[in-house]
Amino acid sequence: MNPAEHDLLLDGWRDLSQGWLLLDMVAVLLIALVLGAVIAYHPATRRRVSTLEHHEQPKAILMYAMVAAMVALVVKVLPAMAFVIFGIGGLLRFRTDTGEAKDTGRVILVTVVGLCCGLGLFVVAVPATVIGWVLVFTLDRQTAGIVRVSGVSEDAIYDAVRSYRNAILRTGCTIIGEQTKFMRREFCFVVQAPPLLTRAVLQSQLDQLPAPVRGVVELEQL
């Protein structure tokens, strides 16, 4: 390897030693996440949470905010890469089965990180990977699910809703949505569970309710 090739290989890594440049990259990514969170966790939106999709939506928004910041950093250095990134994003979104929106965001994030590595933009790729790892770890600790109850008598449904609500709160869960269908004698709670709460513990707590208000419980994604 001649000296010119050697310098080209090390060029991207040298940027990591420039403290102010690295700090600038980290600041851009963090500011994008903070501003994205302002929109993602808007109080008006959170008050209307009634499904797991609504609850998971902010995670996807945060991931896309970070991806957009990375894309802007890449395009700022190499404007021609805008077309490449656009093509990759379209291919992943519409031609690849990546599951939920938040998982699509992760796939695109990893793809852009790989693109940065290929371009030698390690000063973008490394902090983005670290911040992305912390973001995924933090968001995935927020286990959410639905507690659906049916089969309660019409006369006891009001007491049953109150009893189940209190029982769920006693387990340390946070109720982020609630819906009652009186005609079908069914109600459900969208809950956010603490990291250490298991499905079995929650089920056992609900099974201890008095017979008059106890119904058939279905736990979804907990």
Q: Do 120 and 27 share a structural domain?
A: yes
Amino acid at 196: L
Amino acid at 23: L
Q: Which of 140, 172, 193 is the last residue of a domain?
A: 140
pLDDT of residue 165: 94
pTM of the predicted protein model: 0.69
Q: Which of 80, 105, 140 is the last residue of a domain?
A: 140
Q: Do 190 and 118 share a structural domain?
A: no
Strands (E), the chain: 143-150, 174-181, 186-193, 216-220
pLDDT of residue 162: 93
Q: Do 194 and 120 share a structural domain?
A: no
pLDDT of residue 5: 46
Domain count, the chain: 2
Cα separation of 186 and 176, whole Å?
18
Segments forming the whole domain that contains residue 190 = 143-220
Q: Do 89 and 163 share a structural domain?
A: no
Q: Do 149 and 127 share a structural domain?
A: no
Q: 34 with 55: CB under 8 angstroms?
A: no
pLDDT of residue 148: 92
Q: Do 166 and 125 share a structural domain?
A: no
Q: Do 209 and 121 share a structural domain?
A: no
Q: 74 with 121: CB under 8 angstroms?
A: yes
- pLDDT per 10-residue tile (average), the chain, 222 residues: 53 76 89 89 65 74 88 84 73 58 77 84 89 87 85 88 93 87 86 86 90 89 71
